[in-house]
């Protein structure tokens, strides 16, 4: 019981820090709300889908940006997609980078785009690590027989 | 000369004008190429100046030569005239001498004894001297052969004397002459003078043949038979230059063709006249006028190489000279007259001035062309620079717009967070006040997002690209929104906020609600910023109403204000409006424009006012009264300029009056179409807009309320708000009137609204009133209209046994309705708002078949889960094409959420195709978009979408949009 409450507090702290540092926003909360008994792993599914998607998009963009003549339109559409999915899951930091990214695309600024791509990669890795530890915590709590506290 | 000059001038003029024409022509031909023109012009200018210098030199030369010619001619004519006269006079004298010779031949030689002796001759000649004005003396010498000498000498009583010695010593005294002279040596013949005029008596007895000059003269005279002249010489005694004229006297009349020998034979004697040439010429010249100007010389030029001067000073002048020949009747002797001008020729001023004048004119013209050229070049340079600057300015403008776009993007992101949190807060259990606060916060946040969009629109306004929408809207709802937006701030500052919309204003008007709200929000925002106490009063009237009441209202309005503080007289702010000055205005509110609604909106505040010196530039963009103000109050300064533009677009005018430390009143007019007349086409929207207020009003329809307020203006506002709920309102000034009104049996008063001010004035009277009210017992509810929460709370605490519900101002129909509901029907209470919307959403969406179209898998899943949560039956499609297939009629879908930006086929296109496929029926298609900009919204409408929802879903907005199309299935639950 002691372990469980400790874990639960840990989870709450961790989540709070995630919000505080702006990794996720309230959309993530909304997402968590959508998870119920009928789809117990909903968030994880969506998030992993997002990460897959993200990796794919990042790779594509990197390829396009490597080329001699950069097709900024293509990059822009990728960024748009990434922005859409990141705001859907509430990955605030990635979305913010995407906003800047889009501006660079419109300005056809290759340097800026590359910098943003790197940033996206970085944020993506961080978020992935963070969320993985979050899920691990949740699983531990579930394994310990507790329930994941519902978000307010 | 003058004629010549004129012609010249004409020629010159012709030339000048011709040239200038040509130049103009050429100039226009070359106007295109600047560089060529520049060098070309320089050359032309030099050529022009050179040419004109040559021309003026030529003119000078020509005119001076003309003058010279003229002078020469004058001289010639003058000289000739003098020569002729001289000659004539000389000839006259000569004729007289000749006549004398005939006299002598007749009376001396023709008579024996002679009729003439020396005395007779002398007397005669003396008396006839006037006939020979030029001869100083006349003498007669007779021809004496040597053989006759003795006889002759005896006869005369003197010896013939020789002349040469006499000539050598002319200085001797007269009287001694006769004795001193030697007798003439023996000659072949002699010519002793026998008669002489008294003036030359000293020559008597002298042998003329002995003098060299005289001898030659005598010989020639008798040979030719004509008068002959000696060379000029110094006369005896007078020592003046003179000539001697000699005529021969013949014995017999000789034929005119007699040969010289016969003549010599026939010679009897010689008559000689002495001419004083100098005095002759002098006299002559004196007779003539122009002696002063002309210098005359007379020469004997018998010997060509040594002309002998007979008259005139020998001034060496190499100037102009005219020579006229003189004929004195002696063919052997030649004379001439030389005339010169005394003065040097005057400067040819006419020529000089003319040529210089022409040169000056030419130079001036050249200068003018030069200056023009320079000016044109300068202007062109300036123009070029201007263009450059314009380009730079445009670039800067583009940069500014980009900056604005970026910044507003950046602002929108955190704003989403704020709004989301507020949304969540709404979902929690809140009481009415809290709910209102949250809603206000949310509204303000939304207004901020709108404002950002509006900042983006500033660029549009600046380029004049902004277009107004034309959609029906409820003006009063807009006013409520504005009120809600500012009520928080007003509370904070303790400023009373009120809205009054005249009953004459139609419920629905057609226009651009967003822009209209923008103007009002801006004006209100300014007012609230600068107002620390008092009130802000927003009124909407019809222009016609105001015009009617214009002269009535002016006096009473000074004290009769909402907060009792003085205000700037609003009517002064629109005196300049064209709409109030029918003459010269294009859009007078004429009876024919019954379809148009002329609104006049004014915002009155009791703030610190605008300093007089800053008033003229209030509507200039980015211009704030004082830089310190932006530090103190914030703000960009574009608000009023945007408002002015927007008002202009609404065919209205904006104006203000402001008195420092008293307040400002901004007034604007706007022209809308009347929305009530053509209500058919836009029913659903109208329905929706009316929806809220209708549901509220239906509850209270037919009730009666009493408002106790001594201030008519404030009471009017209260009445307006309460009336909107369908409640009949009566106004009374104090409790007594109120009680009498309530106790009136004929009608039931359902509620009483008491102004806090009245309530607080005397708690005992208030208590009494409550007591009376309970006594009457009609179930009348009592409400306090309070300015701020805190004060009303303290008051309710003290008021004891009956606590009336407090409705905080500003009054709003919705707020009022909520409070009334809570107070009147307990179980009818307003459910929590968040629950309300999510509940309603469940109601709306449960069992609905909804299609979600998005290429982004993550989005799809999230949207799917969200909608499923509300019980909807969701189908997903990941491309526009799939959606198209699924929506091919017949289909079972109730609604479709469509992403806009998708590869292959975007949402707009898919919608367009779907709309084309639909034969009957209309599936609601809502766009899902992250950026909620006006432009996107317009685009959505254009391609047939029904609305848009933000992505990710926001419960409130989702509800709003969905409720427009889907009727709740189980309305019983409510």
User: Please, which pLDDT band fits residue B955 given cuts at 50, 70 and 90?
Assistant: low
Q: Which two tokens stand for residue B450?
A: 């709108």
Least confident residue range of A38-42, B20-24, B100-104: B20-24
* In the predicted structure, residue B429 carries a pLDDT above the cut 90: no
The predicted model gives B650-659 an average pLDDT of: 86
What are the chain A neighbours of B900 within 8 Å (beta carbons)? none
pLDDT-above-70 percentage for chain B: 76
CB contact under 8 A, A103 and B409: yes
Q: In what order do the strands lie in the sheet with B805-808?
A: B728-732, B704-708, B751-755, B781-786, B805-808
For residue range B829-852, list pLDDT tens digits in order: 333 344 455 666 777 777 788 888
* In the predicted structure, residue A83 carries a pLDDT above the cut 90: no
* In the predicted structure, residue B138 carries a pLDDT above the cut 70: yes
B273 neighbors B135 (Cβ within 8 angstroms)? yes
Identify the pLDDT of residue B181.
Answer: 63
The residue with greater pLDDT, B570 or B25, is: B570
For B95, residues 6+ apart whose C-beta sits below 8 A from its C-beta are none
SS (H, E, C) B726-751: CCEEEEECCHHHHHHHHHCCCCCCCE
* In the predicted structure, residue A111 carries a pLDDT above the cut 60: yes
The predicted model gives B521-537 an average pLDDT of: 85
B670 neighbors B652 (Cβ within 8 angstroms)? yes
CA–CA dist B315, B321 (Å, integer): 12
User: Please, which pLDDT band fits residue B555 given cuts at 50, 70 and 90?
Assistant: very low
* In the predicted structure, residue B895 carries a pLDDT above the cut 80: yes
User: Please, which pLDDT band fits residue B783 given cuts at 50, 70 and 90?
Assistant: confident
For B61, the 3-state DSSP assignment is helix
Name the helix (H) or strand (E) containing B928.
strand B925-929
CB contact under 8 A, A88 and B951: yes
CB contact under 8 A, B858 and A42: no
Interface mutation target, options A47, A52, A55, A84, chain B, most CBs of B under 10 Å: A84
Name which of A26, A80, A95 is nearest B421 (Cβ-Cβ): A26
User: Please, which pLDDT band fits residue B584 given cuts at 50, 70 and 90?
Assistant: very low
Interface mutation target, options A23, A28, A30, chain B, most CBs of B under 10 Å: A30
B190 neighbors B149 (Cβ within 8 angstroms)? yes
Question: Is the bond leading into B890 cis (omega within 30 degrees of zero)?
Answer: yes
The predicted model gives B44-62 an average pLDDT of: 90
Least confident residue range of B368-372, B417-421, B777-781: B777-781
Q: Which two tokens stand for residue A77?
A: 């559409």
* In the predicted structure, residue B350 carries a pLDDT above the cut 60: yes
What are the chain B neighbours of A74 within 8 Å (beta carbons)? none
* In the predicted structure, residue B105 carries a pLDDT above the cut 70: yes
CB contact under 8 A, A88 and B856: yes
For residue range B402-422, list pLDDT tens digits in order: 776 667 667 767 777 787 778
Identify the pLDDT of residue B839.
Answer: 62
CA B308 from centre of chain:
83
φ/ψ (deg, to 5) at B273: -120, 140
User: Please, which pLDDT band fits residue B16 given cuts at 50, 70 and 90?
Assistant: low
The residue with greater pLDDT, B877 or B594, is: B877
User: Please, which pLDDT band fits residue B389 given cuts at 50, 70 and 90?
Assistant: very high
Identify the pLDDT of residue B837.
Answer: 54
Least confident residue range of A13-27, A97-111, B756-770: B756-770
Identify the pLDDT of residue B383.
Answer: 94
- Looking from the CA of B495 toward its CB, the CA atoms found within 13 Å total 27
CB contact under 8 A, A53 and B421: no
Identify the pLDDT of residue B825.
Answer: 56
Name which of B416, B424, B858 is nearest A85 (Cβ-Cβ): B858
- Nearest-neighbour CA in chain A from B895: distance (Å): 21
CB contact under 8 A, A88 and B899: no
How high does pLDDT run on average in chain B?
Answer: 75
CB contact under 8 A, B903 and A50: no
For residue range B254-276, list pLDDT tens digits in order: 777 778 888 888 888 888 888 77
CB contact under 8 A, B952 and A87: yes
For B338, the 3-state DSSP assignment is strand
- DSSP label at B832? P
* In the predicted structure, residue B391 carries a pLDDT above the cut 90: yes
For residue range B450-472, list pLDDT tens digits in order: 667 666 666 666 656 667 878 88
- CA closest to A43 among chain B residues: B862
- DSSP label at B108? I
- CA closest to B869 among chain A residues: A34
The predicted model gives B945-973 an average pLDDT of: 67
Question: Using CA atoms in the order B423, B429, B431, B435, what is the torsion angle rounded to 10 degrees?
Answer: 0
User: Please, which pLDDT band fits residue B380 given cuts at 50, 70 and 90?
Assistant: very high
Q: Which two tokens stand for residue B689?
A: 């807009």
The predicted model gives B786-803 an average pLDDT of: 50
User: Please, which pLDDT band fits residue B382 given cuts at 50, 70 and 90?
Assistant: very high
* In the predicted structure, residue B731 carries a pLDDT above the cut 70: yes
Interface mutation target, options B413, B419, B865, B871, chain A, most CBs of A under 10 Å: B865
CA–CA dist B876, B685 (Å, integer): 29
User: Please, which pLDDT band fits residue B966 given cuts at 50, 70 and 90?
Assistant: confident
- Looking from the CA of B152 toward its CB, the CA atoms found within 13 Å total 20
The predicted model gives A3-16 an average pLDDT of: 83
Name which of A25, A34, A96 is nearest B869 (Cβ-Cβ): A34
The residue with greater pLDDT, B158 or B828, is: B158
């Amino acid at each position: 019981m002691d372990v469980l409450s400790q874990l639960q507090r840990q989870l709450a702290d961790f989540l709070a820090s995630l919000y505080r540092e702006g990794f996720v926003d309230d959309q993530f909360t909304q997402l968590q709300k959508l998870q119920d008994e009928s789809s117990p792993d909903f968030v994880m599914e969506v998030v992993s889908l997002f990460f897959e998607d993200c990796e794919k998009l990042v790779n594509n963009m990197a390829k396009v940006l490597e080329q001699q003549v950069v097709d900024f339109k293509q990059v822009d559409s990728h960024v748009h997609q990434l922005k859409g999915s990141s705001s859907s899951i509430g990955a605030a930091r990635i979305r913010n980078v995407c906003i800047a990214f889009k501006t660079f695309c419109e300005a056809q600024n290759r340097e800026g785009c590359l910098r943003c791509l790197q940033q996206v990669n970085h944020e993506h890795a961080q978020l992935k690590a963070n969320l993985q530890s979050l899920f691990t915590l949740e699983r531990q709590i579930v394994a310990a027989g507790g329930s994941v506290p519902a978000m307010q | 000369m003058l004629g010549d000059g004129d012609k010249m001038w004409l020629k010159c003029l012709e030339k000048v004008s011709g040239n200038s024409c040509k130049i103009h022509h050429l100039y226009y031909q070359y106007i295109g190429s600047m560089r060529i023109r520049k060098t070309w012009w320089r050359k032309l200018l030099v050529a022009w100046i050179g040419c004109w210098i040559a021309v003026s030199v030529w003119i000078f030369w020509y005119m001076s030569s003309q003058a010279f010619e003229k002078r020469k001619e004058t001289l010639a004519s003058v000289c000739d005239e003098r020569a002729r006269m001289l000659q004539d006079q000389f000839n006259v004298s000569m004729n007289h001498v000749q006549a004398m010779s005939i006299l002598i031949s007749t009376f001396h030689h023709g008579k024996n004894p002679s009729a003439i002796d020396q005395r007779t001759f002398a007397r005669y000649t003396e008396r006839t001297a006037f006939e020979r004005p030029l001869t100083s003396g006349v003498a007669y010498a007779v021809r004496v052969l040597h053989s006759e000498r003795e006889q002759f000498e005896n006869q005369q009583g003197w010896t013939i004397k020789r002349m040469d010695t006499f000539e050598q010593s002319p200085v001797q005294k007269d009287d001694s002459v006769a004795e001193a002279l030697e007798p003439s040596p023996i000659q072949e013949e002699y010519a002793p003078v026998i008669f002489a005029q008294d003036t030359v008596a000293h020559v008597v007895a002298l042998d003329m043949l002995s003098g060299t000059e005289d001898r030659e003269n005598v010989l020639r005279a008798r040979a030719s038979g004509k008068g002959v002249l000696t060379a000029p010489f110094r006369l005896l005694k007078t020592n003046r230059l003179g000539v001697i004229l000699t005529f021969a006297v013949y014995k017999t009349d000789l034929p005119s063709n007699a040969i010289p020998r016969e003549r010599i034979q026939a010679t009897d004697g010689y008559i000689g006249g002495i001419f004083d040439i100098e005095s002759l010429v002098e006299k002559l010249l004196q007779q003539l006028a122009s002696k002063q100007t002309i210098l005359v010389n007379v020469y004997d030029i018998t010997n060509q190489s040594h002309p002998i001067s007979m008259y005139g000073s020998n001034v060496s002048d190499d100037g102009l000279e005219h020579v006229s020949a003189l004929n004195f009747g002696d063919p052997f002797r030649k004379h001439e007259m030389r005339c010169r001008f005394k003065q040097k020729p005057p400067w040819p001023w006419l020529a000089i001035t003319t040529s210089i004048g022409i040169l000056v004119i030419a130079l001036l013209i050249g200068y003018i062309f030069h200056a023009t050229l320079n000016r044109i070049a300068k202007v062109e340079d300036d123009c070029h620079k201007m263009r450059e600057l314009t380009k730079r300015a445009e670039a800067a403008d583009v940069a500014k717009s980009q900056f604005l776009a970026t910044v507003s993007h950046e602002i929108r992101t955190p704003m989403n967070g704020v709004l989301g949190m507020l949304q969540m807060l709404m979902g929690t259990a809140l009481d009415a006040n809290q709910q209102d606060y949250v809603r206000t916060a949310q509204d303000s946040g939304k207004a901020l997002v709108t404002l950002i969009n509006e900042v983006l629109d500033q660029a549009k306004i600046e380029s004049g690209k902004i277009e107004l929408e034309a959609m029906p809207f409820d003006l009063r709802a807009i006013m409520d929104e504005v009120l809600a937006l500012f009520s928080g701030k007003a509370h904070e500052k303790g400023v009373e906020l009120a809205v009054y919309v005249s009953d004459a204003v139609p419920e629905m008007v057609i226009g651009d609600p967003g822009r209209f709200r923008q103007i009002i929000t801006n004006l209100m925002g300014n007012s609230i910023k600068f107002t620390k106490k008092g009130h802000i009063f927003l009124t909407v009237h019809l222009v016609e109403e105001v015009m009617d009441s214009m002269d009535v209202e002016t006096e009473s309005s000074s004290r009769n204000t909402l907060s009792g503080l003085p205000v700037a007289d609003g009517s002064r702010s629109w005196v300049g409006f064209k709409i109030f000055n029918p003459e010269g205005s294009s859009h007078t509110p004429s009876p024919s424009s019954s379809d148009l609604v002329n609104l006049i909106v004014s915002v009155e505040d009791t703030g610190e006012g605008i300093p007089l010196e800053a008033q003229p530039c209030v509507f200039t963009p980015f211009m704030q009264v004082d830089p310190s103000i932006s530090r103190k109050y914030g703000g960009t300064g574009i608000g009023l300029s945007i408002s002015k533009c927007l008002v202009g677009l609404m065919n209205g005018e904006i104006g203000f009056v402001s008195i420092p430390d008293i307040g400002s009143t901004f007034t604007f007019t706007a022209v809308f179409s009347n929305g009530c007349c053509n209500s058919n086409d836009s029913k659903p929207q109208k329905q929706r807009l009316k929806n809220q207020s209708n549901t509220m009003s239906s509850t209270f329809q037919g009730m009666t309320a009493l408002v106790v307020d001594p201030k008519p203006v404030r009471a009017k506002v209260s009445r307006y708000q309460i009336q909107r709920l369908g409640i009949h309102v009566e106004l009374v000034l104090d409790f007594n009137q109120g009680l009498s009104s309530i106790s009136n049996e004929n009608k039931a008063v359902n509620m009483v609204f008491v102004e806090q001010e009245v309530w607080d004035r005397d708690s005992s009277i208030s208590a009494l009133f409550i007591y009376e009210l309970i006594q009457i017992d009609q179930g009348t509810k009592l409400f306090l209209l309070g300015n701020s929460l805190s004060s009303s709370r303290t008051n309710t605490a003290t008021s004891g046994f009956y606590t009336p519900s407090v409705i905080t101002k500003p009054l709003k129909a919705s707020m009022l309705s909520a409070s009334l509901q809570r107070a009147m029907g307990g179980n009818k209470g307003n459910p929590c708002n968040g629950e309300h919307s999510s509940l309603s959403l469940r109601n709306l969406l449960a069992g609905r078949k909804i299609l979600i179209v998005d290429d982004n898998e993550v989005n799809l899943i999230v949207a799917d889960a969200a909608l499923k949560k509300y019980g909807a039956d969701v189908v997903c499609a990941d491309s526009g094409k799939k959606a198209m297939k699924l929506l091919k009629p017949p289909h079972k879908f109730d609604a479709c959420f469509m992403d806009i930006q998708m590869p292959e086929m975007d949402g707009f296109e898919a919608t367009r195709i779907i709309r084309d496929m639909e034969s009957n029926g209309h599936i609601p298609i809502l766009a899902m978009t992250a950026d909620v900009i006006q432009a996107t919204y317009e685009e959505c409408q254009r391609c047939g979408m029904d609305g848009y929802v933000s992505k990710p879903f926001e419960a409130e907005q989702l509800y709003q949009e969905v409720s427009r199309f889907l009727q709740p299935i189980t309305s019983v639950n409510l």
